[in-house]
Chain A
Amino acid sequence: MRELPQKEANLFKQILKCYENKQYKKGFKGAEQILKKFPEHGETLALKGLFCNHLDKKEEAYEFVKKGLRHDLKSHICWHVFGLLYRSDKNYEEALKCYSQALKIDKENIQIMRDFSLLQIHTRNYEGLVDTRHQLLELRPQNRQYWIGLAIAYQMMGKPDSGVKVLTAYEETLKDIPTKPDYEHSEMLLYHNSLLEEMGDIQAAYDHLDAIEKHVCDLKAIREKRAQFLLALGRQQEAEAAYRTLISHNPDNFAYIDGLQKSLGLGNKSLTAEEEAIVVGMFQELQKEYPRSNAAKRLPLRYASGDSFASIADEYLRSMLRKGVPSLFVNLKTLYSDKTKEAVIEKLALGYLAALDKSKGFDHSGSIVEPPTALLWTLYFLAQHYDYKRESDTALGYINRAIEHTPTLVELHMTKGRILKHAGDFNSAMESLNEARELDLQDRFINSKCTKYMLRADKVAEAEKTVILFARADIADPLHDLVDMQAQWYLLEAGESHLRQGQIGKALKRFHQVEKHFAEFTEDQLDFHMYCLRKMTLRAYISLLKLEDQLRSHQSFVRAAQGAVKCYVSIFDQPDGVEPPEMEGMTEAEKKKFRSKQRKAELKAQKEAEEKKAQADQELTKKGGKVDEDPEGVKYTKAEDPLGEALKFLRPLQELAPERIETHLMGFEIYIRKNKFLLALKSLLKAIKIDAENATLHEQLVRFALAVKKAGSALSPAAKTVIDKHWNDLYKGQDLAAVGNSFLKKSEEQGSVPHLISAAIASSLIEPKNDKAEAILFLMADDKYKSTRSLESALVAQKTLRSMRSGRVSEFRAKAAEWFPKATVFQSV
């Protein structure tokens, strides 16, 4: 029963219009009116469901749409509606199926096809996309969008040449090419050019630039591409001229200068003395031509060496210290990878300080009296320099002098905080940051930094109070607003603080919030598929698509994933919650008693907290905020398959960040616990390929061998064969004891603390007696380990001793307190 009588048929058309115009209530009423007379009219039922969906009645929505479909399986409208419903729930797979059904019924329905292609690109189904867009183009060959849409589809599936053919064909259909540059046409031409480049036909791309230039608006793009292509084609002289022109437009663009260097044949990483002189000369010329260019002043420091470096650095430092450029150190520290450069800079800065102290100039010539701020910035620079070298006391000496000189300068207090943080005194670090904050209450940056330092000191409540100082006044729940605003830095720092404090549920809550942001970023694309084609912002659109495909390799996601994996692994290892340090060394009976005592205290605290929360919730609801039903994140700690949850965080990294060794080290931790020996093996092999010398890898190799041994016959023959086949890749034909010994020997040779720690852990696993492992850890007291003996590594070493139930923990703590006198963790209580 598809056909409605005239009156209802008209009404039906009206409610379709209502949907397009987003008049959902009106549409809903109209649908009901039809259904009164024809309660089984499928398409009306389906539409009613769609209106329900928009009126926030999810369950009814599905009910009506499905009912409609049952009554009219042959209606494309019903299928289309079903697809829209799934799409709004982000169930793209089902939505795609519905659209495809709808298209089987109505082969030429443009609207459905467009919706279909949208989801195909969203889900990166490029094969299907090419098909759909072909059909669209055949139906509407006059429409530019469909031509370009098809070209994009080809490009994304890796066939830029087909994309070029489509665009060329389209351009041939154009009768009147706009005589004046027209933005959309121009963008299409530049997109065409980018496809030629992607094909690797640089000559064609270069020639194409000439052909399109008069129609293009973005002339900068043309100039940049031309220079780039000339260089790639080996036409050095022309490339040089092109880059010189670009530099004249922007003498601070590093890429232009880099291009110029390459066109002069000076682009190599290591330069001969002769080449070095030429490069430095090139920069001197640029400086003369563009005295205001910072790049021309800064870049020669990268290439110069020896005396030439010293004299350029001298001039550079003086001018920056005189001007007072707070970012000077940050600007220069990349040079420190070269130890001689670091030493030269140190010597220069110390020389300035002595001269300024004595005669108010950067040298003793007495020709110029520098402003008092020169001394200030020199002290500030030296403080940062020694902090970078982790000579905390020296650094503190300089920063304190600077603060005495000019106590009002915010940066000084921030740097003091950073030095203290590196020295391990997180509370004092936080106090310094708070002083900085109080000097300038309107600076959100300092406020955020201060919050971060509070979290580093695990003062979550204070951090919350501080961070919301910058919340909008009209927000009911400012802390949650940070989640909505995707303030990932805060969520990550908070999550990591909870993790340190053993509050696994709260930590996971934060890490999942970050994960959700990434899901939102992915979702946000949906709007752009249509918009960018309509507005013809093609090059930006393509770079968006490529970015989205790499999204989860971003540092923020990696951090969230690392945190979450640690949490889930600890839930798996300690289902009763993380053991507090007090429980160390207790017998099971003592632990039990301790736990029950703790639980009682917890219950009491919980009751109080609940009362408080109930009150706070009430207030929140009054203000229109949404109450958090699970502030402790219990739902995460109660996960049935914590390792499975961990895997969900790991998988994107395996796909997008396979070059990071941490990805595979994490993978091993999960798989070995799941007794997935082959996947654990795979992780190890990948890690070996990236860095066979990695410290943690050694410990994991030993654990793997022991686990395989323990599993024995439980291991399937097939798995056994594979493992046997790779055994030599892992252990180089040595038995475990030998593996351990040779690793230890190498660690000692290299003087590396992280490797010592790994060796100690491995040793304690190979022979479950402590003395050898302890002896290894205590090796780090030797002076030759000084440079790798970081605060973090000392902490890990201490934790390792603890988990071995070693009797030498306090002995170690005393030693560490000598190495890091400011670090609060090592101070005896």
Chain B
Amino acid sequence: MTPPAIMSNNSTEDKPKNAAFRVGLGDITPNNLGQLKRLNTVLFPVVYTASFYKNVLDVGEFAKIIYFNDVCVGAVCCRTEVVEKSSAQNLYIATLGVLAPYRRLGLGSKMLKHIVDHAELSTTPSIAKIYLHVQEDNEEALEFYKKHGFEVTEKCENYYPQFDVKDAFKLEKIIS
């Protein structure tokens, strides 16, 4: 049997090695709100309102920016929604995105995991489920959420009336 050290050596010769990089999550503050706006403008066709950005500053851990080698390259923004006749609330992911050159490096997963972890831990309010909408043709996002245990629960017709692809899927994950 070949010793393991040599095996791993062999494998690096076959497959290209990724150079090391650093990833970290950061808070959204009034001072770097400009970066979030920038990101959303290039990542999403929707134009977000001033009240959207105001809310972002109030949701604490449910809105984050992600840094790759100290450069801001993605963000996630959620809001909590009251559920009728329940003390628990739902968490709605309004935006989650990573700049194109930085995809498939686990950044989206890191942000989503952060949101799910905090949803599970949250007690005031406690979170019943996390849900979101994805345009029908956004396959990478669908794959991404399914991989993280989200399920399509509904097809919402004409959800995005302003776009060419108007229909959307609703995906959700039950928390408690």
- What residues of chain A have their CB less than 8 Å away from a CB belonging to chain B? 322-324, 360-361, 366-376, 405-409, 438-442
List of A residues within 8 angstroms of B73 by Cβ: 406, 408
Cα–Cα distance between A524 and B58 once the two chains are bound (Å)? 49
- Check if A371 sits within 8 Å of B34, measured CB to CB: no
User: A442: nearest residue on chain B (CB-CB)?
Assistant: B31
List of B residues within 8 angstroms of A441 by Cβ: 30-34
Closest chain-A Cβ to B114's Cβ sits at a distance in Å of: 19
Closest chain-B Cβ to A703's Cβ sits at a distance in Å of: 53
Contact with A along B98-120 (1 / 0, CB 8 A): 01011001000000000000000
User: A439: nearest residue on chain B (CB-CB)?
Assistant: B34
Q: Identify A373's interface contact among B17, B18, B71, CB under 8 A.
A: B71
Cα–Cα distance between A376 and B68 once the two chains are bound (Å)? 12
Q: Considering the complex, which residues of chain B in the window 1-56 have a beta carbon less than 8 Å from any beta carbon of chain A?
A: 16-19, 21, 29-35, 38-39, 41-42
- Check if A368 sits within 8 Å of B71, measured CB to CB: no
- Check if A373 sits within 8 Å of B68, measured CB to CB: yes
List of B residues within 8 angstroms of A372 by Cβ: 68, 101-102, 105
**Most interface-central of A369, A370, A372 (chain B CB within 10 A):** A372
Q: List 11 additional contacts besides A372-B68, A440-B34; criterion CB under 8 Å.
A: A324-B71, A369-B18, A373-B68, A373-B71, A376-B71, A405-B99, A405-B101, A407-B42, A409-B72, A440-B31, A442-B32
List of B residues within 8 angstroms of A324 by Cβ: 69-71
- Check if B19 sits within 8 Å of A409, measured CB to CB: no
List of B residues within 8 angstroms of A367 by Cβ: 16-17
List of A residues within 8 angstroms of B102 by Cβ: 372
User: A410: nearest residue on chain B (CB-CB)?
Assistant: B35
Contact with A along B75-90 (1 / 0, CB 8 A): 0000000000000000
* CB within 8 Å for A408 and B71 given contacts A372-B101, A372-B102, A439-B34: yes
List of A residues within 8 angstroms of B68 by Cβ: 371-373
List of B residues within 8 angstroms of A374 by Cβ: 19
**Most interface-central of B19, B70, B72 (chain A CB within 10 A):** B19
- Check if B17 sits within 8 Å of A439, measured CB to CB: no
User: A413: nearest residue on chain B (CB-CB)?
Assistant: B38
- Check if A322 sits within 8 Å of B19, measured CB to CB: yes
Cα–Cα distance between A367 and B19 once the two chains are bound (Å)? 10
* CB within 8 Å for A409 and B71 given contacts A439-B38, A441-B31: yes
User: B22: nearest residue on chain A (CB-CB)?
Assistant: A371
Q: Identify A440's interface contact among B18, B35, B70, CB under 8 A.
A: B35
Q: Identify A408's interface contact among B19, B21, B39, CB under 8 A.
A: B39
Cα–Cα distance between A473 and B114 once the two chains are bound (Å)? 37
Cα–Cα distance between A408 and B71 once the two chains are bound (Å)? 8
* CB within 8 Å for A406 and B16 given contacts A371-B21, A440-B34, A441-B34: no
Question: What are 6 A-B pairs at a CB distance below 8 A?
Answer: A324-B71, A373-B69, A406-B99, A408-B71, A441-B33, A442-B31
- Check if B38 sits within 8 Å of A371, measured CB to CB: no
* CB within 8 Å for A368 and B17 given contacts A373-B69, A405-B101, A406-B73: yes
Closest chain-A Cβ to B135's Cβ sits at a distance in Å of: 22
Cα–Cα distance between A366 and B15 once the two chains are bound (Å)? 9
- Check if B31 sits within 8 Å of A408, measured CB to CB: no
| Interface residue SS majority, chain B | mixed
* CB within 8 Å for A408 and B101 given contacts A368-B17, A368-B19: no
List of B residues within 8 angstroms of A369 by Cβ: 16-19
Cα–Cα distance between A772 and B39 once the two chains are bound (Å)? 58
- Check if B69 sits within 8 Å of A361, measured CB to CB: no
- Check if A375 sits within 8 Å of B17, measured CB to CB: no
List of A residues within 8 angstroms of B31 by Cβ: 440-442
Q: What's the A-B contact tally at a CB cutoff of 8 Å?
A: 73
Cα–Cα distance between A438 and B69 once the two chains are bound (Å)? 21
Closest chain-A Cβ to B119's Cβ sits at a distance in Å of: 26
- Check if B38 sits within 8 Å of A366, measured CB to CB: no
Closest chain-B Cβ to A63's Cβ sits at a distance in Å of: 57
- Check if A371 sits within 8 Å of B69, measured CB to CB: yes
Closest chain-A Cβ to B17's Cβ sits at a distance in Å of: 5
List of A residues within 8 angstroms of B41 by Cβ: 407
User: A322: nearest residue on chain B (CB-CB)?
Assistant: B19
9 smallest CB-CB distances across A and B, nearest first, come from A442-B31, A372-B101, A438-B34, A439-B34, A371-B21, A408-B72, A441-B31, A373-B69, A408-B35
Q: Identify A439's interface contact among B35, B69, B99, B101, CB under 8 A.
A: B35
List of B residues within 8 angstroms of A407 by Cβ: 38-39, 41-42, 99
Cα–Cα distance between A367 and B16 once the two chains are bound (Å)? 5
- Check if A439 sits within 8 Å of B32, measured CB to CB: yes
List of B residues within 8 angstroms of A322 by Cβ: 19
Cα–Cα distance between A369 and B104 once the two chains are bound (Å)? 13
List of A residues within 8 angstroms of B16 by Cβ: 360-361, 366-369
- Check if B101 sits within 8 Å of A375, measured CB to CB: yes
Closest chain-A Cβ to B20's Cβ sits at a distance in Å of: 8
Cα–Cα distance between A439 and B29 once the two chains are bound (Å)? 11
List of B residues within 8 angstroms of A408 by Cβ: 35, 38-39, 71-73, 99
Cα–Cα distance between A371 and B19 once the two chains are bound (Å)? 6
List of A residues within 8 angstroms of B33 by Cβ: 441
Closest chain-B Cβ to A403's Cβ sits at a distance in Å of: 10
User: B13: nearest residue on chain A (CB-CB)?
Assistant: A367
- Check if B42 sits within 8 Å of A373, measured CB to CB: no
Cα–Cα distance between A487 and B134 once the two chains are bound (Å)? 52
- Check if A406 sits within 8 Å of B101, measured CB to CB: yes
Closest chain-A Cβ to B96's Cβ sits at a distance in Å of: 16
Closest chain-A Cβ to B83's Cβ sits at a distance in Å of: 35
Closest chain-A Cβ to B165's Cβ sits at a distance in Å of: 24
Cα–Cα distance between A324 and B38 once the two chains are bound (Å)? 21
* CB within 8 Å for A373 and B35 given contacts A408-B71, A409-B71, A441-B30: no
User: A411: nearest residue on chain B (CB-CB)?
Assistant: B71
Cα–Cα distance between A441 and B30 once the two chains are bound (Å)? 8
User: B21: nearest residue on chain A (CB-CB)?
Assistant: A371
Cα–Cα distance between A367 and B9 once the two chains are bound (Å)? 13
User: B67: nearest residue on chain A (CB-CB)?
Assistant: A408
Cα–Cα distance between A739 and B31 once the two chains are bound (Å)? 62
Cα–Cα distance between A440 and B34 once the two chains are bound (Å)? 7
List of B residues within 8 angstroms of A439 by Cβ: 32, 34-35, 38
List of A residues within 8 angstroms of B34 by Cβ: 438-441
Q: Considering the complex, which residues of chain B in the window 98-153 have a beta carbon less than 8 Å from any beta carbon of chain A?
A: 99, 101-102, 105
User: B99: nearest residue on chain A (CB-CB)?
Assistant: A406
List of B residues within 8 angstroms of A361 by Cβ: 16
List of B residues within 8 angstroms of A376 by Cβ: 71, 101
Closest chain-A Cβ to B7's Cβ sits at a distance in Å of: 18
User: B100: nearest residue on chain A (CB-CB)?
Assistant: A405
List of B residues within 8 angstroms of A371 by Cβ: 18-19, 21, 68-69
Cα–Cα distance between A546 and B72 once the two chains are bound (Å)? 47
Cα–Cα distance between A373 and B72 once the two chains are bound (Å)? 11
List of B residues within 8 angstroms of A366 by Cβ: 16
Cα–Cα distance between A521 and B157 once the two chains are bound (Å)? 73
Closest chain-B Cβ to A355's Cβ sits at a distance in Å of: 12
Closest chain-B Cβ to A402's Cβ sits at a distance in Å of: 11
User: A326: nearest residue on chain B (CB-CB)?
Assistant: B70
Closest chain-A Cβ to B176's Cβ sits at a distance in Å of: 35
Cα–Cα distance between A636 and B72 once the two chains are bound (Å)? 50
Cα–Cα distance between A342 and B164 once the two chains are bound (Å)? 50
Cα–Cα distance between A375 and B102 once the two chains are bound (Å)? 11
